[in-house]
Amino acid sequence: MMKRLRLWLKELNLSQQLLTIIFMSVTVFALFFFVYLSETVNDFVDNEMYRLIHRTQEAILNNVEEDSWSIYNDPLVTNILIDQKSSSISITNTLKDTEMVNAIVAQALKTTEQSKDYVYTNGQTRILYSVYRIDDQLMLVSFMSENYRAEFKSALLNSVINLSSLVVGVLFVILMIWVGSLIHPLNQIRSYIEKVRKGEEAVLRIDRRDEIGEVAGALVVMRDELVRQDQIKEEMIQNISHDLKTPIATIKSYAESIKDGIYPYETLEKSVDVIIEHANRLEKKVYSLLMLNKMGYLSDVAEEGNTLDMVEVINKVILSMEVLKSDVNITTVLHPVKFHGEEEPWRIVIENLLDNSIRYAKSEIVITLNEDELEISNDGPLLSKERQEKLFRPYEKGTDGKFGLGLSIVYRVCTTYGYRVSAENLEEGVLFRIKKIK
């Protein structure tokens, strides 16, 4: 039953859910009111009636000794003074129901306590009365009519109902305003998402500090990031097309010329060397693209416990690259450290960073390896602030850059294995730092 109710509520919009919840709450309140609160009201009315009766009895007792009690005539309360010695009964108000009076007097004569409250019932008639023994001979009996009790109870119930209705009405208005304040921004968010999905121009302005405002802000940031990524993808496609077009066109034109018996670069051997050179360039670009794409899958195959000796990787890279620029001195300060990941991606990282440093260094490169941290610095020109912000994006080439993929591969490998890579300016030169994310 509850499962069906939950499923049914999920199919309603917020306004309908609100009205349903209010209706159910009012129903529960009404049942509570008529089942439980009604009995409570009856007890309250009875106590209030007895309180009024006792107050009347106190006023009469103050005058009974002066034999002037009968002048105290309250139309709401009927008082009976019983004198057991003379067997006389005095009544302040005229009563037609002698059966009720006789029953009340008979019960009063049986009372041994000084003061006690009773209820007389006869069919639908219900009378509250109180017996007070003045002395051994005199007794005072006071009661109120059923009509007054019914009127008092009706007035009390009407007051409670009116107050409850007012509270429910105010709560309903407040809830409607609150739900309206939720529905409006949610509709704005839905419209914004629809426009983004269709590729239309979309603006979302929701000035809230709650969870809805946070979601709206996250959507705007997400959309800006998607737009930025789309621009990067377009630029990448354009750059890839341009970078691949040049060597392919060169290889094609040289091959066609050689086929026609023409050697574009002096001799056949030199012309073929040009083709091989451009083929090597093309191979490196394709390899870089494949490696960049591969980094996205490393996290699925790399185990947490897979580590490697970083000192060995660095030494291998230095040995293979130190001949590229013999006038640059490479200094190392390497402590035995293990990094998480596989050897080939980390080797590419070191090669790319070292290749970048060799390209810009004036005379010296320093490689420092400490626990969970690797630093490669050079004494080349400083980075501009704009260049620092875009340094690790794909196809962001520096002044002497080649493909614009090297540092983006570095960033992808580091983040995949749980490390952070950054670049900062020194007093003289640039420092690349790779540090494990705690």
| Domain definitions of the chain by residue range | 51-151, 220-297, 302-436
Does domain 220-297 correspond to CATH entry 1.10.287.130?
A: yes
pLDDT at position 27 is: 78
Q: Is residue 226 within 8 Å of residue 211, measured between CB atoms? A: no
Tell me the pLDDT of the chain (438 aa) as tens digits.
666 766 665 666 666 777 777 777 777 777 776 666 666 777 788 888 888 888 888 877 776 554 555 555 566 788 888 877 766 666 666 666 777 888 888 888 888 888 888 888 877 778 888 888 888 888 888 887 777 777 777 777 777 778 777 877 887 788 778 777 878 888 888 888 888 888 788 888 888 788 888 888 888 888 888 887 777 677 667 766 766 777 788 888 888 888 888 888 778 888 888 888 888 878 777 776 676 666 655 544 455 557 889 999 999 888 777 655 567 888 999 999 999 888 888 888 898 898 888 888 888 999 999 988 999 999 999 988 887 877 877 655 555 544 456 788 888 888 888 899 999 999 889 999 999 987
This model's pTM is above 0.75:
no
Q: How far is CA 200 from the centre of its chain?
A: 28
**In the block, residue with structure tokens 């450290």:** 337
Tell me the CA distances in angstroms from 57 to 74, 87, 138, 248, 299, one per residue in order.
11, 21, 13, 118, 91
Structure tokens at 129: 């009365």
Helices 268-301 and 211-259: crossing angle in degrees, nearest 10, is 150
* Tokens (6 digits) for 162: 């009116």
Query: Rounded to the nearest 5°, which phi and psi values hold at 369?
Result: -120, 115
Q: From the centroid of its chain, how far is CA 43?
A: 47
How many residues are given for the chain? 438
**What value, to the nearest 5°, has the Cα angle with vertex 19 and ends 18 and 25?**
90
CB 339 within 8 A of CB 304: no
Q: Which of 412, 389, 405 is nearest to 286 (CA)?
A: 405
Inter-axis angle of helices 343-360 and 406-416, nearest 10? 140
Query: Which residue's entry shows tokens 């939720």?
Result: 182
Cα end-to-end span (Å), the chain: 49
Coil, strand, or helix at residue 422?
Answer: strand
Q: Give the span between the Cα atoms of 303 and 281, in whole angstroms.
A: 33
Beta-carbon count within 10 A of 16 CB: 11
pLDDT of 66: 47
Give Dmax (Cα) for the chain: 157
Per-position DSSP letters for 339-401, written without gaps between them: EES-HHHHHHHHHHHHHHHHHH-SSEEEEEEETTEEEEEESSPPPPHHHHHHTTSTT---TT-
pLDDT of amino acid 401: 46
CATH 3.40.1840.10 fits 51-151, yes or no: yes
Number of H helices, E strands in the chain: 11, 12
Lookup: tokens for 163: 């107050």
Q: Report the amino acid identity of residue 147.
A: N
Superfamily of chain region 302-436: Histidine kinase-like ATPase, C-terminal domain (3.30.565.10)
